[in-house]
Amino acid sequence: MEVAVISNYDYIIVGSGIAGLYCALLAQKQGSVLLITKGSIEDCNTRHAQGGIAAAIGINDSPELHFKDTIAAGDGLCNEEVVHILANEASDRIADLVHLGVPFDTLDGEIALTLEAAHSIPRILHAGGDATGEHIEITLSRSIRAANIPVLEHHLATEIIIEQKIVKGIEVFDCENRCKREFECRYLILATGGAGQLFKFTTNPLVATGDGIALALKAGAEVMDMEFFQFHPTALHIPGVVPFLISEAVRGEGGILKNVDGTRFMPAYTQDAELAPRDVVARSIVSEMKKTHQDNVFLDVTHLAPQLTATRFPHIYQFCLDQGLDITRQFIPVAPAAHYMIGGIRVNSWGETSVSGLFAAGEVAGTGAHGANRLASNSMLEVLIFGKRIFKKIAQGICESDSKQHRDNLPNGSIHHKLRARPPSCNVPMLSLEALQSLLWDNVGIVRNMQGLAEAVDILGTWQHSLPELKDRRSYELANMVLTGRLMAEAAFLREESRGAHFRSDFPARSTAWLRHIITTFE
């Protein structure tokens, strides 16, 4: 059924992953809503989420234990108030998904739970084995269409319209007709996902280009913790095949990491072995690859029952089989790949940014729940918890954005960094998507140092002076990636320590002086 697209809405939501879809369903209960997405409604990170959703619903689990695990993974930088909210409201949001029809896997009539790295107890809900994100995305998409919520596909948001420091609407680029349009709204919610396409190797789809970060920054919003980017330890590594996520849950079910000689190596790096936090496992794999002069290691599940592997991980099993690899009999070649943007647009516990009328939800939002290192499977839960709270807050009729209360809610000891125009340098490589992805992977990747970061900052600053004409989706995305990459590189350059997902070989230890956040705005 065709749904008319008007020019003025109560709510405009940008992005069609789980955050955008869930927020749209909530918004339509409170007013008129338009969902805008630069691709099709099916293009998002959510569809690729294999592991599941963490929630303390098990008989031996508790919100307190989930809280402790999240705080431990966050390496000193979690917002404890936010983590309390995350852990305590989890069961209610899971009930919402069940009510919507998400078919979580069950065992003996109860929701099945599995273990993932850095969780002290099995608490990961999953659907279709390793197809959790896909099942949630399909369920929410079906609900969106059933509710006749207008969806504007193939429209890229290019500018947030601000009048007197208040959001008034959004400018979009019609990717098919190559023209611009404007839509007015009372509230704008950015749910644009992450920025994995900044890197040469990533588990993210092509749409993950940091658009929301660039939009918010240019509109005057604060961005926080951009130096913390999580690299998944185990992406399928086969020449000529796009990196494919091999879920954390594979190690949770007993998968063992081995080097090219077939030797298990993780116990030599950490007592938690394969179930250590992702940053530890990723760096251990990089170290082992260097030792053995290889560009991958192996994940071994051949000791598990073949039927268990094939039924618990049907997508992974089938994808590998399509590449000629039977994981029930052969080792899986894996290597780390860029996976999840931990920082983002700074929001309070109600999803409000520092710009009145502008909210953010999902991976694009920096809630403080993840600290310096996201605990596995907390991301989809974060979407549900803080997406819901946006609409609770608006229903109360009192928004704090751009108020003294919001400004005073800054994390203690935060560093305020201004992103300034930089004079162009000579002898800088020509800007291209491939050059940008290689630069970020080599210089702002899993292991960083001052020289590499300084070079990245210089090149990215110069590239901003040589951006191509903004005339199509690709050119807009490239401009957004240069800006988002600059934010990441400059924050990583400033943080002279190693913490969580941020590792500096020249500052390999944590420092109590850096128990603070880097908050960036435009000059």
CA of 446: how far to CAs of 99, 247, 282, 442, in Å?
A: 40, 19, 8, 9
Is-contact 295 288, C-beta < 8 A?
Answer: no
Between 473-494 and 211-218, two packed helices, what is the crossing angle to 10 degrees? 80
Number of H helices, E strands in the chain: 15, 22
Number of C-alpha atoms within 13 angstroms, CB side, residue 446?
A: 21
Query: How distant, in Å, are the alpha carbons of 19, 134, 135, 311, 452 from that of 103?
Result: 18, 11, 7, 16, 46
Catalytic residue list: 278
CB 46 within 8 A of CB 136: yes
Q: How far is CA 273 from CA 234, 266, 453, in A?
A: 14, 5, 30
Residue with tokens 């998409």: 141
Compute the C-alpha angle 479/436/156, nearest 5°. Answer: 30
Residue 333's φ and ψ, nearest 5 degrees, are: -70, 125
Contact between 176 and 137 (Cβ < 8 Å):
no
Q: Which residues of 410-430 are buried (b: 16+ CB within 10 A; e: fewer)?
A: bbeeeeebebeeeeeeeebee
d(CA 273, CA 285): 11
Contact between 251 and 211 (Cβ < 8 Å): no
Q: What is the DSSP string of 455-492?
A: HHHHHHHHHTTSPPP--SHHHHHHHHHHHHHHHHHHHH
